Amino acid sequence: DTAVSQTPKYLVTQMGNDKSIKCEQNLGHDTMYWYKQDSKKFLKIMFSYNNKELIINETVPNRFSPKSPDKAHLNLHINSLELGDSAVYFCASSQDFSRWGTEAFFGQGTRLTVV
Amino acid sequence: AQKITQTQPGMFVQEKEAVTLDCTYDTSDQSYGLFWYKQPSSGEMIFLIYQGSYDEQNATEGRYSLNFQKARKSANLVISASQLGDSAMYFCAMRGTYSSASKIIFGSGTRLSIRP
């Protein structure tokens, strides 16, 4: 059983389109995240959710809108896609964001290419 | 603000040798966790090892150990008896407390290549 699963794995789309990435975790974790990995492999936090509530928004453009229907799901919707949005997007989850010793488990990533 | 620094963009090591990947961190938190992740060419992020700031002993997980030097704010990953399958990107990461607890921040990574 996959612990954190994202769909789709690959996404190629044209500039200006709107797209969504879905994420689900079956670990029973309370906290979920979206990370962006750029072409230089740098990983940057975008959003953190705890029990469906947004707790971090790291100055991400408002074209990016996360949505958590329940604590096992965190989706990412991107409006008006731009070339600079091309990256690998990772969903992750952890037990409890307030516990500093808690590691995060990552999904397999979604490679988004905007053409 | 918290920061993770990995100063080795790339390393080449002979198979079966031990390798140390460097990581230094900066935080004003008293309590924090340090992590290492592996990212093979297939792209997934694999959790390797964890060290808590109050842990007196260095963490070990199989061939992985974490050389934790709190006063120097370093958390180096040591891989013993390297294998070809260890070729990957390795990321050092940290989670702090209070407002810093809600995210894990990552260093820029080290690309490790194992030579047969």
pLDDT reading at B97 higher than 80? no
What would the mean pLDDT of B54-72 be, rounded to a whole number? 95
pLDDT reading at B106 higher than 80? yes
Helix (H, G, I), strand (E, B) or coil at A44: strand
Helix, strand, coil percent content, chain B, rounded in steps of 5: 5, 50, 45
Asked whether the beta carbons of A91 and A4 are under 8 A apart, the reply is yes
Asked whether the beta carbons of A22 and B69 are under 8 A apart, the reply is no
Asked whether the beta carbons of B114 and B84 are under 8 A apart, the reply is yes
Residue B64, judged by CB atoms within 10 A of its CB (0-12, 13-18, 19+), counts as middle
- Our CA-based measurement puts residue A44 at a distance from the nearest CA of chain B, in whole angstroms, of 7
- Contact between chains at A40 and B50 (C-beta distance less than 8 A): no
Asked whether the beta carbons of B10 and B110 are under 8 A apart, the reply is yes
Phi, psi of A26 (to 5 degrees): -115, 25
- Contact between chains at B97 and A100 (C-beta distance less than 8 A): yes
pLDDT tens column, B11-58: 999 999 999 999 999 998 888 999 999 999 999 999 999 999 999 899
Rg over alpha carbons for chain B, rounded to the nearest Å, is 14
- Contact between chains at B103 and A56 (C-beta distance less than 8 A): yes
What would the mean pLDDT of B55-71 be, rounded to a whole number? 95
- Contact between chains at A104 and B31 (C-beta distance less than 8 A): no
A68: Cβ contacts below 8 Å, ≥ 6 apart: A32, A49, A52, A53, A54, A74, A75
- Our CA-based measurement puts residue B8 at a distance from the nearest CA of chain A, in whole angstroms, of 14
Query: Which helix H or strand E contains A65, and what residues bound it?
Result: strand A64-70
Q: Percent of chain B, pLDDT > 90?
A: 84
- Our CA-based measurement puts residue B69 at a distance from the nearest CA of chain A, in whole angstroms, of 17
Asked whether the beta carbons of B79 and B87 are under 8 A apart, the reply is no
Residues in chain B with CB shorter than 8 Å from the CB of A109 are 43-45
- Contact between chains at A101 and B39 (C-beta distance less than 8 A): no
Residues in chain A with CB shorter than 8 Å from the CB of B29 are 100
Q: What is the model's pLDDT at position B56?
A: 87
Nearest to A42 among B32, B95, B108 (CB): B108
The residue written with tokens 């790339």 in the block is B10
Nearest to B111 by CA among B39, B61, B50, B47: B39
Gap between the Cα atoms of A67 and B82, Å rounded: 42
Q: What is the model's pLDDT at position A96?
A: 74
pLDDT reading at B99 higher than 70? no
Q: Between B103 and B43, where is the model more confident?
A: B43
- Contact between chains at B108 and A33 (C-beta distance less than 8 A): no
Residues in chain A where the model's pLDDT stays below 70: 1, 97-98, 100
